[in-house]
């Protein structure tokens, strides 16, 4: 089983070594499973449990102070499932898998996705706040109150802005996690996130959107991370797999997709790719993106 995982593209993490250890564990854990779907699910679950990543535990609050999680999954036979805007759900990737396996749909959202998760035995009502997230939230100069337009105005001044230290974004802002896997014949991809720092309540980014945060086809699979709105507008994961379909290997496809993304948007992102020959590719134009491979 070939497994490649990422821990997000964005600002350099404050403590990269422990994060890298977790990524290595995630890749190894995924590779111990028999199918690509099992592999990516298990790998992403390792990362969702680690508060150093912006997925599951360690996710980020939206403008109303609520933490909501998103995830998406797809296989090379184009089965797909996703779940979005779920408060209190750590195992977002498990919900995405349940949507794929147990419903005729590709996406559930909000409280209905949470209710579905609970009814299928996935834990809900988890406390996703960490001490670091709470401190960052409490240290803000203000918190929005009032109508959605009041929240909108507050978000406009803060979303995606450079932090006081001059970094592109605070650590954790782009730390979406993801995995791609292949057993030589089949592919799967899964991506999970806790959203982007200081987003409007109810915001859903690229992660649960097929072709944006994740995509798989008979030629291979990809998982993306970074500036979600820009990724969604350029369908970054689909773009990478399209290059596989055109005959490029995994590394060349990843490089080409990020080059095109940079030219089109000027935003930062990263992508991981696996191809039918077992090749793995990683590319990013952000300051950092940690990955691990088994």
Residue 21 · residue 50 · CB < 8 Å? no
d(CA 35, CA 252): 26
Please identify which of the residues 41, 69, 176, 234 carries the catalytic annotation: 176
Return the number of other C-beta atoms located less than 10 Å from residue 188's C-beta: 30
- Residue appearing with tokens 């055109």: 246
Tell how far CA 245 is from the center of its chain: 23
State the Cα–Cα distance between residues 254 and 256, nearest whole angstrom: 6
End-to-end CA distance of the chain: 8
Take residue 262 and report the two structure tokens written for it: 């940079």
Structure tokens, 86: 């779920």
DSSP assignment, residue 294?
-
| 29 carries an active-site annotation | no
Return the bridge partners of 237, or none: none
CB 270 within 8 A of CB 282: yes
Give the count of beta carbons closer than 10 Å to the beta carbon of residue 208: 32
User: Looking up tokens 């706040």, which residue turns up?
Assistant: 129
Q: Which residues are catalytic?
A: 176
């Amino acid at each position: 089983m070939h497994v490649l995982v990422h821990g997000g593209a964005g600002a350099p993490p404050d403590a990269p070594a422990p994060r890298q250890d977790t990524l290595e564990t995630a890749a190894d854990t995924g590779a111990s499973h028999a199918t690509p779907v099992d592999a990516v699910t298990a790998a992403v679950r390792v990362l969702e449990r680690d508060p150093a990543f912006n997925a599951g535990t360690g996710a980020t609050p939206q403008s109303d102070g609520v933490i909501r999680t998103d995830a998406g999954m797809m296989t090379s036979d184009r089965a797909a499932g996703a779940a979005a805007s779920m408060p209190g759900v750590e195992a977002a990737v498990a919900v995405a898998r349940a949507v794929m396996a147990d419903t005729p749909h590709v996406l559930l959202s909000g409280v209905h996705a949470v209710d579905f998760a609970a009814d299928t035995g996935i834990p809900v009502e988890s406390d996703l706040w960490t001490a670091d997230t709470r401190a960052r939230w409490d240290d803000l100069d203000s918190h929005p109150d009032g109508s959605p337009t009041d929240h909108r105005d507050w978000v406009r001044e803060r979303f995606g802005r450079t932090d006081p230290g001059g970094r592109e974004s605070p650590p954790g802002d782009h730390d979406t996690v993801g995995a791609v896997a292949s057993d030589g014949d089949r592919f799967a991809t899964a991506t999970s996130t806790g959203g982007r720092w200081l987003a409007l309540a109810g915001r859903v980014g690229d992660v649960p959107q097929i072709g944006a945060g994740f995509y798989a086809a008979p030629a291979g699979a990809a998982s993306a991370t970074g500036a979600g709105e820009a990724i969604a507008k350029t369908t970054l994961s689909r773009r990478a797999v399209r290059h596989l379909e055109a005959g490029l290997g995994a590394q060349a496809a990843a490089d080409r997709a990020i080059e095109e993304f940079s030219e089109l948007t000027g935003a930062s992102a990263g992508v991981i790719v696996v191809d039918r020959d077992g090749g793995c590719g990683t590319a990013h134009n952000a300051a950092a993106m940690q990955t691990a491979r088994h």
